[in-house]
Structure 1
C-alpha cells in the first residue's frame, strides 16, 4: 500500500490546515466538495419534488429512508469488499454508477413523467451507490495523511460536506425556482464525473501483507467478531444509533415543517439547510478551539442536548426567522457529534479491518436514520407533526443516560501498527501445512504463584478478549488441579490460515496486554507454547468401526 506521508517539517504541530499540505488529500478533498455540493442540490430537489407530487408526509419522510436503507443493506458487504480488493477500483465503479443514475433521473424528470414513487426509486439506486462508496471513501483518508493529522482530516471531510450543505441547497433552490429539478439531477451527475477523474489519477498500490487471503464470508465474520470484542467500538455504535434515530426527525420532517406548518416555499427550505451548513462549518473551527477541553463523551452529550432543543423548536417555534439560529446551532452540533463518532471509530481500529468496522458504523448510523424517518413520518401522518417532533425531543433527552454504560473512549496513545514479531511465534514445521487444515488449538503454559492468581485472572481476561477478537472461536484459561501454580491459556482457531492471520493482526498495543499477562510467569524459561492440529488432517470426526460378523458366517 502507498506509505502514509510523513508530517511536513514546516508544521510540527498539526492543525486544521495541516491536511492540505498533502497534495493527494487536497485534490480528493476538492473533488469531494464539488460532489457533495451536487449531492445536496440533489437532496433538496428530490425532497421538494416529492413534496409537490404527493400529499403524504410518509412518502416525503421515505426520501430519507430511500437514501439510508441501502446503507443498512450494503454497508457490511461493502466494508468486506473494501478490505479485500483494491479500494481505488471500487471507488471508480461507485462514482461511475452514481453518475449514470443521477443523469438518468435528470433526463426522466425533464420529460415530465416522473412520479413520487419514481423519484424514490432513483434515490434508492443512488443510495446503493453511496452505500458501497461511503465505507471505502472514509478509509481512504487514513492513506493520505499520517495518524496525528487524521482527526483534522476527518474534520475537514465533515467541513466539505457542510460547506456543500450551505451552498448546495441555495443553488438547488434557485435552479428549482427558475428552471426544473431535472437540471439539478443532471448537474449532480456531472459532479460525480469530476470525482471519478481525480480517483483515476490517484496511483495507489494494493495492500499485501504476504499472508493467506481471506474469502468474502470469512472477512465478514472477522469484521463482526472484531466489533463484538471491542468495547470502544460497541460504545460508539450504541451512541450513534441513539443519536441518529432522534436527530433524523429534523432531516426527515424539516421540509414538511416549512411547507405545511409554516406555509413557506422551496426557497425558505433551502435557506434553512444553508443555515445548517453554515453552522456546521463554524463547528469545524470550534472543534479546533474546544477539542482539548471537551473529550469525545462530552461532545456527544452536548450535541444530543442541542438536538433536544432543535426538535422542540421545529415543533413549537412560529416563525422561520427564529428557526434560523436554531438551524445554525443544529449544524454546529451535528458536525461536532458526527466527527466525534467518526474519529473514534477510525482511530480505534487497525488498517486490516478498518473498512469493515467503518461499514458497521455506517450501517448503524443509517439504520438509525432509516428507522427514525419511518417512525417520525408515520407518527406525523397518524397523529400530528408537532407530536412527532416532541416525541423525538424526548428520545434525544432519554439517550443522554447512555453515557453511563457506554462512555466514549479517547483514542490518544493507541498504537495499532503490526507487532512484528509476535511474542508467540509460529513453530518451525517439518512439512508444509495446508492453510485449510484445522481446527488448530494453541496452548500456552504459565507458572504463576497462587498469590498472584487474582491479578493474573484480570490480565488474562483482556488477553482472552484479544484472542477472540482476532480470530479464535473459543478461548480460556485453566488451572492444573494437581499443580495450582501451573496455568494454561488455550485458544481454538478454525484453520491454520486463520491462525496465521492472528499473528498478522496482533498490534503493538496488544503486545502490552500480552506482556502484562507474561509478567506473572515465574518459570526460568519463557511460557511454553504448543500448537495442535486436528489429527489426522481431515475433518476431526469419529468414524464408525465395521460391524462384527457372527462365527461361521460366509467370508
Structure 2
C-alpha cells in the first residue's frame, strides 16, 4: 500500500522522483547527510575495532556479546529523557552538546588504548559512555528531519538517512578491520580507529554550528518541566494505537535479530577462523545489503505494503540465523548476510517512517525517543540472552533458539498493522476561538481542571455521535487529559455531557496548541451532530482546595467541642 497524505496524493510520485533522491537537492539536508555519513563511517569503524579488540582481551562469548549491550542499553535507560529534552530545549544546542560528548568519550578511549591501559571492563565502560551521547543525540537528530524537508519528502529522507548509515556500515567495518590488521598489535590498530572516529564527530558539529534553525512548532506557553514532559509523552503513546503497533513490531524484531549482530564476531573468529579483516567483511556484507535496500526502498514502498515488507524480512532472517548456526562456508555466509542487511534496513526504515508520519511535531522527539528505546532495548536484552545461551551451551544453539523465536512470535504480532490507510494530517490547527478567560485570579499551574461540554443529540444521530465522541476520547487523552468520560442524562436521553480532567489550567492551554488538523476534523464532526441553536456549552472548573480559617478571624474556631 503506498503511503499517502491528505490532499496531496502519493508521497513523492514516481513521475517526479522515481529515484528517491529529491531531499538531497535541499542544501541543508544535503550538508547534514554528508556530515552524518562521515560520522557514521567512523562509528562503524569503531564498532568493528572495539568488538575485535574485545575478542583479543577475552575469550568469553558473554563479554563479547555485552559490547552490543553496552551500545544498546543507554537508549533503553535514556530514550524517554532524550525525547523529552529534545521536545523542550533547542534541538540545535542539544545536538552540539551531545556530539561534543561523544567526541570526548571516544577521544579518551583512544588515548587509554594507545597507552595500553584498556581492559574488557574499561572498553565496555567507554562504549557505554559513548552510547549515552548517542542515545541522547538520536531523538533530536531524527526529529529535525521535518524541519529540513517538506512533509511529502519525509519517507525518502528517512530512506536516505538509512542509506547514509548503511553506506557507512558497508564500508566502515571493512575499513576498521583493515586498519586494525595493518598494525602488529590489535590495541594500537584499534586505538587508531578510535581516534579517527573522534575526529569524524567534528564534521557534524561544524554543520550544526552553522545551522540557522527555524522550528516548526514553537509554543507561546512556558516550557514543560522534564518530568511532566516525560509523563505527557508516555500518555501520548498509551493512547496512540498506530504508534503502539510500531513499537510492538520493533521490539519483537530487534530482540531476536540481535543474535546476528551480537554473535557475528564469535562466528567469524571460532567457526570461520577469520581475523579482524574477515570479521569486517562479514559486518560490511550486512551494510552492503542495507545500502542496496536504502536506495531501492522508495520504489519498493510504492509497490509493496509495509506489513508485507516486515513479514518477508522476518522470515528471511530465520534463514540467516540458521545459516550462521550450521553453515561454515564464508562465501555462502557473505551472500546470506547481504540479503539479510537488505531485509534489516527495509524493516527498520519502514518502522521509522511509521513513527515520523504518525505523530505531530510537539511530541515527535518523545515518540522517536520511545521508538529508539524499544529498538535498542530489544537489541540490548536480546544480546544478553543470546550471549548467555552461547556461553553456557554453544553459539549454534543460541542462533537456533533466536530463529525459532522469530517463527513463533510472527503470528502473534501479525495483528499489529503498520501504515495502513491514509496518513493523518498532523499540521497544527490554529484555534478559531481565543482561549477562555478566567474571572477568578487563578495561578495557571493550579489544578486539576475539569472541562465539561454539553451536547444535545437527536435520536437518529445517536449511533454516529457515540462512535465520534469515543474517537474524540483518544484525542483528548493524547493531548493531555488525565481522565475522560461521556455521560447520558437519565431523565433527558438527548442530553449528553463530555467531561475530561487536565492536571492544570496551563496544561489545558497546552492541549489547545497541540490539536492537529486530523484532531480538529474529529472534534468538528462531533460538534456538527449537536442539535441546538447555540454551540455546545462548555464550563471550566478548577479544583477548590480546602482553606482553614485563621483563629484570629473567628476565635471560636480555636475551640474544639467534645461532641465532635
TM-score norm. by structure 1 comes to 0.93
Instruction: Give distance in 2, aligned partners of 1:540 and 1:513.
Output: 38
Match of 1:333 among 319, 337, 343: 343
1:495 equivalent among 483, 486, 504:
504
2:384 paired with 1:380: no
The answer to whether 1:400 aligns with 2:421 is no
Q: Does 1:119 align with 2:135?
A: no
**How many pairs align?**
540
The Cα of 1:61 is off from its aligned counterpart by: 0.1
Contact 2:18 2:299 in 1 (8 A): no
Is the contact made by 2:178 and 2:276 (CA closer than 8 Å) also made in structure 1? no
- Residue of structure 1 in register with 2:94 after alignment: 90
Contact persistence 1:237–1:364 (CA under 8 A): yes
- Once residues 73 and 303 of structure 1 are traced to their aligned partners in structure 2, the CA distance between those partners, rounded to angstroms, is 28
Query: Is the 1:239–1:402 contact (alpha carbons within 8 Å) kept by the matching residues of 2?
Result: no
Other-structure match for 1:271: 281
Distance (whole Å) between structure 1 residues aligned to residue 259 and residue 549 of structure 2? 61
2:162 corresponds to which of 144, 154, 158: 158
SS in structure 1 at match of 2:303: coil
Aligned mates of 1:72, 1:16 — CA distance in 2: 32
CA contact (8 A) 1:212 1:501 kept: no
**Matched residue SS, 1:476:** strand
Is residue 516 of structure 2 the alignment partner of residue 507 of structure 1? Answer: yes
Contact 2:167/2:287, CA 8 A, preserved across alignment? yes
Deviating beyond 6 angstroms after TM superposition, the runs of 4 or more aligned structure 1 residues are 541-545
The answer as to 2:424 corresponding to 1:414 is yes
Report what 1:3 is aligned to. none
Distance 1:411 1:42 in 2: 41
Q: Is the 8 A contact 1:248 1:373 kept in 2?
A: yes
Query: How far off is 1:432 after superposition?
Result: 5.4
CA deviations 1:248-305 (Å, max 9, x no partner) are 0000000101111222222111111121111111112331222112122111111211
For the residue of structure 1 that corresponds to 2:195, the secondary structure is helix
- SS of the counterpart of 1:478? strand
Match of 1:203 in 2: 212
Shift of 1:20: 0.7
Does the C-alpha gap of structure 1 residues 458 and 93 become closer, same or farther in structure 2, counting only changes over 3 Å?
same
1:431: Cα distance to partner?
A: 5.5
Distance 1:47 1:523, change over 3 A: same
Contact between 1:32 and 1:195, CA under 8 Å: does it hold in 2? yes
Kindly indicate whether residue 287 of structure 2 is the aligned counterpart of residue 283 of structure 1.
no
TM-fit CA distance, 1:541: 7.8
Structure 2 equivalent of residue 45 of structure 1: 49
Name stretches of at least 5 consecutive residues in structure 1 with no aligned partner: 1-6
Displacement of 1:12: 5.3
Q: Is the contact made by 1:348 and 1:411 (CA closer than 8 Å) also made in structure 2?
A: no
SS at match of 1:209: coil
1:241, distance to aligned residue in structure 2 (A):
0.3
- 1:452 aligned residue (433, 439, 461): 461
Partner of 1:512, secondary structure, is: helix
Q: Does structure 2 conserve the Cα–Cα contact (< 8 Å) formed by 1:438 and 1:496?
A: yes
Are 2:31 and 1:27 equivalent residues in the alignment? yes
Secondary structure of 1:88's match? helix
What does 1:101-112 align with in structure 2 at a 5 Å threshold?
101-112=105-116
Q: Do the aligned residues in 1 keep the contact of 2:79 with 2:135 (CA within 8 Å)?
A: yes
Offset, 1:426: 2.7
Residues 41-440 of structure 1 aligned to structure 2 (within 5 Å): 41-179=45-183, 180-205=189-214, 208-410=218-420, 412-421=422-431, 426-430=435-439, 433-440=442-449
**SS of aligned partner of 1:204:** coil
Q: Is the 8 A contact 2:160 2:295 kept in 1?
A: no
Measure the CA separation in 2 of the matches of 1:55 and 1:543: 73
In structure 2, the CA distance between the partners of 1:404 and 1:547, relative to structure 1 (3 Å rule), is farther
User: Mean Cα displacement is larger for which, 148-157 or 14-23?
Assistant: 14-23
Partner Cα distance (1:19, 1:483) in 2: 57
| Residue matched to 2:7 | none
| Alpha-carbon displacement from aligned partner over 1:224-260 (angstroms, at most 9, x marks no partner) | 0001000000000011000000110000000101111
Kept in 2, the 8 Å contact 1:94–1:133? The answer is: yes
Partner deviation per Cα, 1:32-56 (whole Å, 9 max, x = no partner): 0000000000000000000111010
Residue 4 of structure 1: aligned partner: none
Residue of structure 1 in register with 2:3 after alignment: none
Q: What is the CA distance between 1:451 and its match in structure 2?
A: 4.1
- Kept in 1, the 8 Å contact 2:425–2:516? The answer is yes
Aligned equivalents of 2:432, 2:416: Cα separation in 1: 31
Counterpart of 1:352 in 2: which secondary structure? helix
1:202-231 C-alpha deviation (Å, 9 max, x unpaired):
111465321232111111111000010000
For residues 419 and 542 of structure 1, do their structure 2 counterparts lie closer, same or farther at Cα, with a shift above 3 Å needed?
A: farther
Three-state SS of the structure 1 residue aligned to 2:144 is: helix
Shift, 1:193, TM fit: 1.3
Whether the 8 Å CA contact 1:344–1:410 is kept in 2: the answer is no
Q: Any gaps of 5 or more consecutive residues in structure 2?
A: 1-10, 184-188, 551-555
Is the 2:320–2:337 contact (alpha carbons within 8 Å) kept by the matching residues of 1? yes
Equivalents in 2 of 1:481, 1:542: separation in Å?
A: 37
1:547: Cα distance to partner? Answer: 7.1
Measured after TM superposition, the shift of residue 157 of structure 1 is 0.4
SS in 2 for 1:442: strand
Give the conservation status (yes or no) of the 8 Å contact 1:442–1:492. yes
Match of 1:518 in 2: 527
In 1, the alpha carbon distance for the partners of 2:242 and 2:275 equals: 44
> Is contact 1:40–1:165 with CA below 8 Å preserved after alignment?
yes
